[in-house]
């Protein structure tokens, strides 16, 4: 397979070697390039030999000396060098299946690509990966790999994901772990289906993957208002959320003693739903699952107090506002009140935005749409600037 070079970074190794946009990359150090993972792996050698094919079909060998992990300066039409792999599952909890009609087309695309797992931290189900691709992950030492496990019960996994392969590919977890590939796992918990005894089974099975297993995120299913003809699911209640936290912590407390790390964590949403205090920052270790909503509030709280610790009282007048989701509203309001103790002329209004787009059961800031933001802030006192969470929009 050859890959078209779409551009060259100025003053790069490739630029100085005279490689031109429109030429083809045939191989790196004699290895055929299938996609970006092959390219990144073989291009890290101190001495790199690129087989380049010019527009007229002639081929030449370009020799480069580079520092390990330096970018050679080749740009390609897509970062993967080929098409994204789409999801082949029909998960009972899939949020994309719960989107309203009429949104941007890219929002309806379901990716399930092991390369995106390594490059961007996306989670994969492994149902569209072959044995050869697992072997390549091991050969190229692609690590960590983020896996959406949901359950280690093969029959239940088939039921939840509506894919006959979803049960049998669980063995890939052991193969990757035995090869030293680090794993981050995710369990989307659905009340009465894969929590309770099934969650206990999953955590017991996943414990066998330690030390390759770095972390497990347990997140509650998100339910929009657009679930017509979809599998009947129910949301977590205060009581069921509390029970789930207790079960998870029965494992994490023991693992902390035995392995020096909790490894498994409930999402912040579980603590909010259960009306329990958010644990302190040290509870979350290295915050391995921050992108999954694990420890976000605690991390922000720590950063906030670190930032204002040496802040001197200030009489400068500041007029601003903050918009956030329903879940984080009490927490953000509390931080603003704390800041006002030092910044006496701070006028800051905090607004909780209800999710009219997806439904009021969706309370996280990351799923607030521009339409809801504009509609609900219309006519509000916003001050000189409006502050939004980085995950919003």
Same domain, 101 and 157: yes
The confidence score (pLDDT) of residue 311 equals 80
Same domain, 268 and 351: no
Q: What is the DSSP string of 148-185?
A: E-S-S-HHHHHHHHT-TTTTGGGHHHHHHHHTT--EEE
Beta-bridge partners for 27: 32, 51
Indicate the length of the chain as a whole number: 393
Do the Cβ atoms of 186 and 213 come closer than 8 Å?
Answer: no
Do the Cβ atoms of 278 and 266 come closer than 8 Å?
Answer: no
Integer CA distances (angstroms), 113 to 124, 184, 306, in order: 6, 15, 38
The confidence score (pLDDT) of residue 299 equals 95
Q: 89 in a domain, yes or no?
A: no
The confidence score (pLDDT) of residue 121 equals 74
Q: 286 in a domain, yes or no?
A: yes
Pairing of strands 31-32, 24-28: antiparallel
Question: What gap in Å lies between CA 89 and CA 366, rounded to an integer?
Answer: 24
If one counts the domains in the chain, the total is 3
pLDDT digits (tens, 9 = 90+) for 328-343: 999 999 999 999 988 8
- The token pair that represents 151 in the structure block: 């359950």
Same domain, 180 and 210: yes
Same domain, 102 and 239: yes
Same domain, 151 and 17: no
Same domain, 203 and 239: yes
Same domain, 167 and 214: yes
Q: 83 in a domain, yes or no?
A: no
pLDDT digits (tens, 9 = 90+) for 69-113: 678 888 887 766 666 677 889 999 999 899 888 888 887 777 776
Question: What gap in Å lies between CA 207 and CA 11, rounded to an integer?
Answer: 49
What domain range is 337 assigned to?
A: 311-387
Which residue in 147, 199, 205 sits closest to 176, CA to CA?
A: 147
Q: Give the CATH number for residue 157.
A: 3.80.30.10
Same domain, 108 and 149: yes
The confidence score (pLDDT) of residue 34 equals 79
CA 20 to chain centre: 35
Of the candidates 15, 44, 76, which is a domain's last residue?
Answer: 76
Q: Which parts of the chain register pLDDT below 70?
A: 1, 68-69, 79-84, 113-120
The confidence score (pLDDT) of residue 68 equals 67
Of the candidates 20, 42, 76, which is a domain's last residue?
Answer: 76
Same domain, 22 and 107: no
pTM score? 0.84
Of the candidates 30, 47, 76, which is a domain's last residue?
Answer: 76
Q: How many CB atoms lie within 10 A of CB 199?
A: 21
Q: 303 in a domain, yes or no?
A: no
Which residue in 343, 328, 321, 339 sits closest to 387, CA to CA?
A: 321
Q: 232 in a domain, yes or no?
A: yes
Same domain, 162 and 244: yes
- The token pair that represents 225 in the structure block: 């208002």
The confidence score (pLDDT) of residue 291 equals 86
Which residue in 89, 94, 88, 137 sits closest to 115, CA to CA?
A: 137
Same domain, 193 and 163: yes
């Amino acid at each position: 397979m050859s890959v078209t070079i779409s551009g060259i970074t100025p003053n790069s190794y490739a630029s100085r070697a005279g490689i031109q946009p429109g030429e083809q990359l045939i191989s790196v150090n004699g290895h055929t390039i299938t996609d970006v993972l092959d390219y990144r792996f073989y291009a890290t050698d101190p001495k790199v030999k690129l087989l380049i094919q010019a527009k007229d079909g002639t081929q030449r060998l370009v020799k480069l000396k580079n520092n390990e992990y330096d970018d050679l300066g080749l740009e390609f039409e897509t970062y993967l060098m080929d098409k994204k792999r789409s999801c082949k599952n029909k998960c009972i909890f899939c949020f994309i299946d719960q989107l309203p009609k009429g949104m941007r087309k890219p929002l309806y695309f379901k990716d399930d690509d092991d390369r995106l797992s390594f490059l961007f931290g996306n989670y994969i189900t492994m149902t569209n990966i072959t044995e050869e691709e697992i072997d390549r992950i091991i050969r190229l030492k692609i690590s960590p790999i983020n896996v959406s496990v949901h359950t280690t019960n093969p029959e239940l996994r088939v039921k939840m994901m509506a894919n006959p392969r979803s049960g049998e590919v669980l063995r890939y977890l052991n193969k990757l772990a035995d090869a030293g590939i680090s794993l981050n796992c995710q369990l989307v918990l659905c009340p009465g289906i894969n929590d309770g005894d099934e969650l206990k089974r999953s955590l017991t099975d996943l414990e066998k993957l330690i030390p390759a297993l770095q972390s497990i995120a347990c997140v509650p299913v998100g339910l929009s208002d657009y679930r017509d003809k979809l599998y009947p699911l129910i949301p977590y209640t205060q009581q069921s959320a509390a029970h789930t936290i207790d079960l998870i912590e029965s494992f994490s407390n023991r693992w902390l003693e035995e392995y020096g790390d909790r490894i498994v964590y409930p999402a912040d949403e579980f603590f909010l739903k259960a009306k329990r205090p958010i644990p302190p920052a040290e509870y979350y270790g290295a915050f391995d699952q921050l992108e999954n909503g694990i420890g976000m509030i605690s991390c922000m709280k720590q950063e906030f107090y670190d930032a204002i610790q040496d802040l001197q009282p200030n009489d400068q007048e500041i007029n601003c506002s903050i918009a956030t989701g329903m879940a984080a509203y009490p927490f953000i309001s509390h931080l603003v009140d704390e800041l006002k103790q030092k910044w006496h002329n701070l006028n800051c209004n905090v607004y909780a935005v209800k999710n009219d787009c997806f439904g009021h059961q969706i309370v996280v800031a990351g799923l607030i749409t521009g339409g809801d933001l504009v509609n609900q802030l219309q006519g509000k006192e916003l001050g000189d600037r409006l502050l939004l969470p980085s995950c919003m929009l």
